Every structure is written in structure tokens, then in C-alpha cells.
Structure 1
């Protein structure tokens, strides 16, 4: 007699904790809708309602997100209640002044990402304490992601308190999208960290996050970018609310893939003694050490001392990687895992970047009367898309792996960075509202 075993259905296999989380998400959505409905247009209301099943699914799919979302929601609501509709309380209430106002939370995020990077690298080099150091680095990264989300949500509330025409989702300028880039890149890395049971890649991924934080701090200091500004007319569109986040999922995962590719090349050349063969290390040195030269405006720039410190730290990091490449290679996971993380990151990024490009074309048609105008930003977005489309084609059709794939992904970081920042710095066009 044959016995047939039926696998339980997706919903029937959910635990009581899963359904409890779903109920909390539903109640939170109802609360947000009833409490803040007056400040939302019909598109924002639709996004809020439509995000409910996505939030529940994410909480079921990756359980650590449940805790993160509940903590972020709770502390964000606490901050909003502490304001009591008066932004002046940001300087009067202890929790707001030092922890929960948007600027305070984002500054804490910045510091914790730096600390996380230090702990991850300590785990690479300190024998006997590697697991403990990397665990601390991972926890710091989680807290930093949470604070970034709290800062973003509270900033959204703060913008509405400045005036009914000023309030907007905080994804409208370089300051806000750099915060998004930092937490998205870190969050995707933390997911892969759990899935592959290795924390060794954190040292590499947090380098690019810390570089973004370094730019964010400079941008805050020099441009006072943390000040909330009204939207320019071109950004007063509901398309912005979906186009920009999709775009930065792409940027974040592409950056993650490039750092994994760099780790792959380090592991591959760990025993190499010929210095001219250590090209990936020198490439990283060029990227890190020459960034201050790019962003300095003049020899008399008041922030030159900041960039000198940045240069020194960058040089120290490069020297450490050069000297410790064998120890680094010992801590890294297998080539198969590195290759798989690189591939999955690019695949996810490409999917969302494609969606963002289509949404951007629809937005352009509404704002400027045409789907495509060969604006520099559009052109470089197309170059980024073609680069990763070709990478995925070669991977899926020709079995591209190993050194060539890693180098290609690493070069992709340069292309993506120019599309993200270089266009804003050196080229002008319809997207000139994002200039440095």
C-alpha cells in the first residue's frame, strides 16, 4: 500500500507568531491610515494599503525583519508623539535631541556603520576573537539600519510640520537617497549573511557603506543638506515615491555585488607576490584615496582637513588589505559562495533597476512630455542597465563565472557610481535638480 504525504499549505504552515505579526501589521496600517489620512494623497493611501501584504510577506520570509519593523514603528511613533506638532521640541526633549529626531537618528546611523566596519575588520585580523568581533559588527549594522529607517520616517513627519506644501517622502535629494543607499545596501548584505552563515563579507560590504556615510557627512557639513527643503516642481509627482526606492535597490545591490567581487579577487590572489598582479587592491586604493580630490572644490576649501583625514584613513585601509590579504583569504567563504552572492545580488538589482527605468520613463512622459530624451542621467542609466544585462546574459547563456565575472562586477561599480554621482557633478540636463 502506497502512502501519500501531502505537504502543508503555505498559510497552514504559518505559526501563531506569524499570524500575530500579521495582525500587528494590519492594526498598524489601520492606525496610520486613520491618523494620517489627511496628509496623504490618493496615491500615498494606495501605497500604504498595498504595502500591507508586502510587509507581512517580508516578515514571514525573513523573520529578523519582524523585530526590525516593530522596533522601527514603535520608536518612530514615540518620536512623533514627543514632537506634539512642534518642531522646536527637537531641541527641548532629551530623546528627540539626542536620539530620535531625524538628524540625530541619522548621525547615530553614520557612527554605527563606521563602528560596524571596524568590528568586521577586527574579526578578520584578530585570531581567537573573530566570531565575537564579527557578531558585534553584524549587530551594529542591524541597529544602524533601524536608526536609518527611524530617521527617514521621522524626517517624513518633520517635513509635513513645516507646511502642507513641503511635506514629502524623504527620497528627493542626495542627502535623503544616500541614507536610503546605506540602509538598503546593509540590509541586503545582512540577508545574505544569514542565508550563507558567514559574516566575513561584512568587512568588504561595509567599506562601501562607510564610504557613502563619509560622503553623507561631508554633504551635510558643506551643503547643510540635512535641512528639509520644498520639492522642486519636477519632483511633485507620485512617480517619485516608487521610482527612487526601486532605483536604489538596484544601486545598493550592485554595490554589494562589486564588493563581493573584490573579495573574490582578493581570495584568488592571496598568495600572489608580484605587486603588478595585485591590480584589484590598487584599484580600490585609487577609488578610496582619490575621492577626496574629486569632491574638494578648491585648494582653499574649508573642508580640506576633513578630506585629508578621509585620505589618511583610506590609505590605511588599503595598506592593511595589501599586507593582510592571506589572512583575509582564510576568513572568506568558498569561491562558490562568493560567486553565488555576486550573481544573486546583480540579478535582484537588475530586476529592480529595470522596474525603476520603466517607471522613470513614465514619470518623464508626465513631467516633460516624452518617455525618453537622452538626458545625461537617462543615458547613463541605460549604460548601467546594458552593462548588467550583458553580465547576466553571459552568466546564464555562456556560464560566465570566476575572475572575468568578478572583474566585470567590480568595473560595474565605477559605471554605477558615475551614473549616480558623476552625472550630477559633471553633466547638466533635465535632472540638474540633483546637482552637487
Structure 2
């Protein structure tokens, strides 16, 4: 059955490549086929696996193109999301959809499943503005890929000079290639090659190409059971194929199989989406605690809350509960990946968010007015929301060799943890600037709150710059081990030093009489975060260097940087005018 399936796909490819050369590139109508001379293919059954077989399928291990061993559930979710831009496409479970692509390629080749959102790309493809998905067949004009020349032109263009259309085009081209790989089974490496010293696993095509052996015969038999069962919807045969495949994995691939705990952790992370869901409870905690802060200011003279005050208790319960859930999810990601989750932009952001929440809890335990926990809940929400953007890939990947060091846990934890404290200091400074707008002789409690926040802000900034300094020094030790030098004026190293100097200057204003004012410290703490943003985002994504997550040429500065800068300047100027011309 497997051989017939592969032959069918080969025939499908040949059919697509021999279509009339004058056929227009347009969205394909899978119900009324006018572009091809073959008979329509029946639609596959929705979610055909069944609950038990789906669970078995999800827990199978596979090897991805980077060599990472992961549950098949992870592969199905990642691929279906990349292609359709939906967690659930037209009611399909990700696993059923992924396996249906493999077993019914002739149908899905004609079906509009490739997400297209950008208007310019729709115009290039010749589809209507209302179109949301296009078929793979609509991208072929005779034996030509209709986007081949625009893609080549986009690749020739330096990254920073690419238009938005070219960027979207390259993403769509990647989507098409991933889908093509899913249709022919090239991304489904389920079978460990017996005796391979590199512990390589192969896909269905690779098994068929292997010479006869006990391993190859058993693998082909397992494949035949699985594929014939999937195509016929035969649940017992599907189960037999899955169990035979699992047995082969444990016999020939045991050396690289993830532990049962790691698989369970990753499966839970896939289904629970903890980092996305916890943003809502953090946001609720922010709303309650900020209300509690201003309520205390208006009704209680800004005094600390007793720990059992209903309003304060509700806010702190939400905040601490969110923090514990966030921490548990982070630990499970550590278990699933087998390393500290600190190696890419997404993982560093969820750790910075965690450090921010911990910083808020530490200082809230001493202050008990709702300010520290409240603003840290807000910042944590923002950081996690940024991590959910399409810019950041949440997929767990293997470590690059230079990061495979115990220094990753030490240096990166300390230096990114400092960003959480400095971010908390920025929002506390911003909150103090807002209080300056309320300056009034009839509000002595506001003046007292400003002075208390000033003292709190100083302690937060001292902690943050201390961690940043230690982390930078530890980074020098790691750099010496990795590259043979302690300091090389790499953009990351340079901007870390700049950030230390910026905050050291802000903290030393306290010993300059004319600068020893709450407004000055609040402004410095609030605006100083710009150097942190540059150190993290600017270096990692807009400059080239050893520490950069970006590849190739640096890209242009996004518009949100300018908008955020203008808003910050607006608050600083307004608070200065209020402090300058109003009296207590």
C-alpha cells in the first residue's frame, strides 16, 4: 500500500508539471475544477484517527530536520500552523490534518490550504482580496512555479532593502515548500536506521530505499499497516501500525529517544498553551493591583495594605497564582527540551517575563501597596505578548554548539534576569511620573507616595544594575572559553557596557545636589530602559554580531520604536511641567 501511495504522489507531481503552459495562476476551486483534466478526488474524512489512535500518534517520537527528537504532535502542530496560520483548520485536529496530507496528497494538492494574508501578495498571485487560502496547484503555471522569479529577486535584494511584499513573499515561499515536503512525507522521519552511528532516522521514502534486512522488512511492514489503515480509516490496522512503529523506535532508536517525562511535558505544553493563557491572569492581576494602589492613595493615605485586605488579597492571589503557573510551565519546557530554555528570542523573553514577575514579588513583599506587583504584572503581560508575535518562533530547537555550555545557565540567567529588574524600575519610574501629574497642595498623600516610590525605585535599579554588571563580567569569562578573548567590542558587549554606564549615571545623580530630586530619578529609571531595549532587541535583531539572532544584513528600525519614544517623551515633558510649575 505504501508503494502505491508513493506512486500516486509521483503521478500527481507529473500531472501538475505537464499542465498547459498557458494556464493562469489563480486560486483553485476544489469543487469545480477547470484547470486540470483529472477526475475530482473525494474529500477525506474529517478527524479520521479516533481519540485512542490520535493519542498514540501524538506520542510517537520523530526526528526533525535539525536532528531534534520530539513528539509527532509537536511536528503536526508546527507544520499545520506554518501552512494554514490556524491552530485548527476548518475543524481538523492538527494530527489528523498532518496525516491526511500524507495519505491524501492528491486532494490536498488541489485544496486551498496555504494561508495568504498580505494584500500585495494576493495581487501578485492574481486572487481576490477576500481570499484567505490558496491551493498548491494554483502556484504552478504549466511546468513553472509562478513565484520563482519574484522569489529569486527577493533573495538577491539585501535584507534591509527588501520591501514588505518581498518579505511576505519569502515567508509564503517557505510555507509552500514546507507543505510540499508534508505531502510527500519528507518531513516525517519516524524510523531509526539500524546501526547508524549518527542515530539518523528516516522517512517512508528512505525506508523503501534501504537494502533488504530484518530492520528494513519490519519497517516496511509497519509502514504498510499504518498507511493502509490511514487511507482506509481502519482503526485496528492504524493501531497495529502505530504500535509496530513504536516498537521499532524503542528497539533501534532507544539511544536518542526522549524520556517519558520529557514527552509528557512537551505534549502538555502543546495542548495547554501556558505562556499565552497566563497573560490574561497577569493582566487581571495588574488591573486589580493598580486599582488597589490608587484606592489606597485616595482612601487610605497611601498606607501599606494588611495582607488580608480583600482587595489587596485578590490582586496578590491572581499575581502569585500566575507567577507559579508561569514558573511551572517554564520548568516543564526545561524538562521537554533537556536544557535551560534560554537559547533563542522566544525562550529569553519568557524568562525575562518570569524574572520581572519575581522582581515584582520580591519588592512587593516589602512595600505592600500594590505598585511593585501591579506594574510588574503589566510588564510581564507585555513581554509575553511580544513573545507570541510571529517574529519569535516558539518551537524547541537544538542548541548551537557554542551555546552547549554550563555558562549558558549562569551568564544568560543573570544578565537577562537583570532586564526584568530594570524593566520593573522603568515602570515604577513611569508610575512616579504619572503621580507628578497629580501634584496639588491639597494632596499631601501623593507627595508621600512619590517619596516612597523614589526610595523603592532606587533599590530596584541598584539590584538590576548589579545583576547586569555581574552578568557582563561572567559573559567575558564565557567569551574567553568560547572565542579566546574576554572582550572584543562586539555590539552586544558594547551595548551591555553602555547600559551599565547609563544606569550607573542615573544612580549617581543622588549625590549631585541639583539632581537629587525624585523627578530626576524617575525620569532616568523610566527612560533608561531604552538602553536595555537596544541591548536586547537592537543588537539581537537590528545589528549583526556574534550574539545576534538575526541573519545577514541588519534590518530597518520598526515604527513602534519611534511611537514608543514619542509617548515616553510626552510623559516626561508633561511631568516636568507639572513638577516645575505646581506646588505642594
1:254 shift after superposition: 0.9
What is the CA deviation profile of residues 176-216 of structure 1, one whole-angstrom value per residue up to 9, with x for unaligned ones?
A: 12111112111211222221221144443333222112101
Contact 1:200 1:332 in 2 (8 A): no
* C-alpha distance in structure 2 between counterparts of 1:198 and 1:138, whole Å: 11
What pairs with 1:174-253 in structure 2 (closer than 5 Å)?
174-218=345-389, 222-223=390-391, 225-253=393-421
Which residue in the other structure is 1:405 paired with? 521
After superposition, the Cα gap between the structure-2 partners of 1:175 and 1:333, relative to the gap in structure 1 and judged at 3 Å, is: farther
SS in 2 for 1:183: helix
Which residue in the other structure is 2:503 paired with? 388
Q: 1:120 aligns with which of 289, 296, 303?
A: 289
Contact 2:275 2:326 in 1 (8 A): yes
Q: 2:318 aligns with which of 140, 159, 173?
A: 140
Identify unmatched segments of 5+ residues in structure 1.
1-82, 161-167, 273-325
Contact 2:468 2:500 in 1 (8 A): yes
SS in 1 for 2:528: helix
After superposition, the Cα gap between the structure-2 partners of 1:362 and 1:90, relative to the gap in structure 1 and judged at 3 Å, is: closer
SS in 2 for 1:113: helix
SS in 1 for 2:466: helix
Contact 1:424 1:434 in 2 (8 A): yes
Contact 1:171 1:244 in 2 (8 A): yes
Q: 2:538 aligns with which of 401, 422, 425?
A: 422
* C-alpha distance in structure 1 between counterparts of 2:475 and 2:408, whole Å: 8
1:115 shift after superposition: 2.1
* C-alpha distance in structure 1 between counterparts of 2:270 and 2:541, whole Å: 34
What is the CA deviation profile of residues 17-56 of structure 1, one whole-angstrom value per residue up to 9, with x for unaligned ones?
A: xxxxxxxxxxxxxxxxxxxxxxxxxxxxxxxxxxxxxxxx
1:427 shift after superposition: 0.6
TM-score (structure 1 length as normaliser): 0.58
* C-alpha distance in structure 2 between counterparts of 1:350 and 1:232, whole Å: 29
1:338 shift after superposition: 0.4
After superposition, the Cα gap between the structure-2 partners of 1:392 and 1:123, relative to the gap in structure 1 and judged at 3 Å, is: closer
More displaced, 245-254 or 129-138? 129-138
Which residue in the other structure is 1:68 paired with? none
SS in 2 for 1:334: helix
Q: 2:333 aligns with which of 155, 161, 168?
A: 155
SS in 1 for 2:488: coil
1:395 shift after superposition: 2.3
After superposition, the Cα gap between the structure-2 partners of 1:201 and 1:352, relative to the gap in structure 1 and judged at 3 Å, is: closer
After superposition, the Cα gap between the structure-2 partners of 1:379 and 1:224, relative to the gap in structure 1 and judged at 3 Å, is: closer
Which residue in the other structure is 1:105 paired with? 274
What is the CA deviation profile of residues 127-179 of structure 1, one whole-angstrom value per residue up to 9, with x for unaligned ones?
A: 9999644432222221121122211211111113xxxxxxx211111211211
After superposition, the Cα gap between the structure-2 partners of 1:266 and 1:217, relative to the gap in structure 1 and judged at 3 Å, is: same
After superposition, the Cα gap between the structure-2 partners of 1:89 and 1:265, relative to the gap in structure 1 and judged at 3 Å, is: closer
Q: 1:359 aligns with which of 474, 480, 490?
A: 474
Which residue in the other structure is 2:452 paired with? 337
1:235 shift after superposition: 0.9
Which residue in the other structure is 1:10 paired with? none
1:425 shift after superposition: 2.1
More displaced, 143-152 or 331-340? 331-340
* C-alpha distance in structure 2 between counterparts of 1:213 and 1:246, whole Å: 19
Q: Which has the higher contact order (CA 8 A, sep 6+)?
A: 1
Which residue in the other structure is 1:347 paired with? 462
Bigger share in helix = 1
Contact 2:266 2:336 in 1 (8 A): no
- What RMSD, in angstroms, separates the aligned Cα atoms of the two structures? 3.1
1:355 shift after superposition: 0.7
After superposition, the Cα gap between the structure-2 partners of 1:175 and 1:239, relative to the gap in structure 1 and judged at 3 Å, is: same
Contact 1:123 1:134 in 2 (8 A): yes
Identify unmatched segments of 5+ residues in structure 2.
1-258, 556-584
After superposition, the Cα gap between the structure-2 partners of 1:184 and 1:271, relative to the gap in structure 1 and judged at 3 Å, is: same
* C-alpha distance in structure 2 between counterparts of 1:114 and 1:230, whole Å: 32
When Rg is computed on C-alpha atoms for both structures, the one with the higher figure is 2
After superposition, the Cα gap between the structure-2 partners of 1:332 and 1:420, relative to the gap in structure 1 and judged at 3 Å, is: farther
SS in 2 for 1:429: coil
Count of aligned pairs: 283
